[in-house]
Structure 1
Amino acid sequence: MAEETVLDKGSSFMDPFKGLLLSYIMPETCYDEFFLNFNFLDVPCLKIVLSKCLGLGIILGSVMVKLPQIFKLLGAKSAEGLSFKTVLLELLAITGTMAYSIINKFPFSSWGEALFLMLQTVVIGFLIQHYGGRTSRGLVFLVVYSGLLVLLLSPVTPVSVITSLQASNMPAIIIGRLIQAAANYRNGHTGQLSAISVFLLFAGSLARIFTSLQETGDSLMALTYVISSACNCVIALQVLYYWNSSPDRKEKKKKKSE
């Protein structure tokens, strides 16, 4: 009886743990492989677990990935160095990925960060307009985007349109990042661009290449993240190159030369 009680307690303790793992981390076959057969070197299961953990880590990180950028804008009360066109193109890419994933019923762990990045990017877009003295335009931007998002996710929109939107992500990402890179080069600094946000976006897009191939098997999704990683790398390199340059320092140099 005592042994049965101990076993029951152990079973009741393991049930929530098992449920958590099966819900978010691994299929039941992998649970059996790891915790019943003690085969911790099963390659297919290791890939699944790594992909799931990376995906969940990216989603958790995405909740805060653009907050440093938002706080930097609020603190400086300026959007100098940030391009609204870049934000629009980035929003197009994020929205396309999110809608495409929802329509194809991909697991949330493979695209969940798009939801949080979309919300934060919308806030940044509004702040750029607001600090540029165009608050009314910023409000129009919020209303129009919200309406388009509802329309896009409704049954009215054909699947072919959403697939085309996802395919357009690649040129949108490239053009958007080139606009931002050109603005950085022209200004000779990265303005109010947050280094933390830039590096987190680069790391996240890089990890997404693996998780997309592993969890969705969708080559279009994977290729989008390859392009995104390359473009984010360019901006990250610019942040490093212009690390000691800032609008304030450039202004001081101008005053000294005068």
Structure 2
Amino acid sequence: MAALQGLLVPHLLPERCYDELFLRFNLLHVPCLKILISKGLGLAIVAGSLMVKLPQVFKILGARSAVGLSLQAILLELLAITGTMVYSLANGFPFSAWGEALFLMLQTVAIGFLALHFGGRTAQGVSFLVLYFTLLCLLLSPLTPQPVVTLLQAANMPAIVISRLLQAATNYRNGHTGQLSAVTVFLLLAGSLARIFTSVQETGDPLLAVTYVVSSVCNGVIAAQLLYYWHVPAGAGARKKLE
């Protein structure tokens, strides 16, 4: 029992909740159940984010092509992910509330580089990596004032909406979803839906919660397109170059 307590307290539960659930067996203690579910769900999302975009990366590598992916959408998504990560760190939110942003950021950066590389713009891809990580270091440094960090998070919603609209428009124009990975899209949808609950429970930050609501709606649009174009091969319709 002591080992279990050391595992759960304080990482998943405050000590009072451990006592309620595991010593008094008060399994209907709603506030503590909410904390346990939120922490567990948050850590599961973080763990899942280690692989959520890898299917997309492998699909691009396997096809040696990023056809069907909007570069503008990738960059805007990266902006939104970066905003969440920087805002969460600046406000001292627990890692379980935002940790997936770190791993999604690394995978999105890789997708952006591969999109440029397979589009014949490798030099631009290298410049993109250098510029992005330089800006990230600046945003995470004490040199960046808090109002700028808050503004970056507030910019998430338009960035998410525009990025998904760009990808949806690319899918519609092409008549297929190209190298877009269904696994990645549906995992992103599931993660954003779960984050609505965990952000409310763990941070109480309305800006963060609304961001995930908007993200869920936008991810749902792309998921619906994937289902609609499910049996349409990537080569069907008008082939479009990477935007």
TM class by shorter-chain length? Answer: over 0.9
User: Partner of 1:213 in structure 2?
Assistant: 200
Q: 1:164 aligns with which of 138, 142, 151?
A: 151
Q: Which has the larger radius of gyration?
A: 1
Alpha-carbon offset, residue 249 of structure 1: 4.7
The amino acid across from 2:221 in the alignment is V
Distance 1:25 1:92 in 2: 30
Note the residue ranges of structure 1 that are not aligned, 5 or more in a row: 1-13, 252-258
Where does structure 1 differ by over 3 angstroms across 4 or more consecutive aligned residues? Answer: 248-251
1:105 partnered with 2:92? yes
Q: How many residues align?
A: 238
Higher relative contact order, structure no. (Cα contacts within 8 Å, ≥ 6 residues apart): 2
1:90 partnered with 2:99? no
TM-score, scaled relative to structure 1: 0.91
Percent identical: 68
TM-score, scaled relative to structure 2: 0.96
1:57 partnered with 2:44? yes
1:35 partnered with 2:22? yes
Is this contact kept in 1: 2:56–2:180, CA < 8 A?
A: yes
Greater share of helix? 1
The amino acid across from 2:150 in the alignment is T
Distance 1:115 1:38 in 2: 36
Q: 1:81 aligns with which of 47, 51, 68?
A: 68
User: Partner of 2:241 in structure 1?
Assistant: none
The amino acid across from 2:104 in the alignment is L
Distance 1:195 1:160 in 2: 37
Equivalent residues in 2 for 1:124-139, closer than 5 Å: 124-139=111-126
Alpha-carbon offset, residue 35 of structure 1: 1.5
User: Partner of 2:161 in structure 1?
Assistant: 174
The amino acid across from 2:42 in the alignment is G
Q: Deviations over 1:26-61 (max 9, x none)?
A: 110100001111101100001000101110110011
The amino acid across from 1:232 in the alignment is N
Q: Deviations over 1:141-170 (max 9, x none)?
A: 000000000000000000100000000000
The amino acid across from 1:126 in the alignment is F
Distance 1:86 1:115 in 2: 18
The secondary structure found in structure 2 opposite 1:65 is coil
Alpha-carbon offset, residue 250 of structure 1: 4.8
The secondary structure found in structure 1 opposite 2:125 is helix
Q: Deviations over 1:82-116 (max 9, x none)?
A: 01111110000000000000000000000000000
Equivalent residues in 2 for 1:166-205, closer than 5 Å: 166-205=153-192
The CA RMSD measured in Å over matched residues stands at: 0.9
Distance 1:234 1:183 in 2: 13
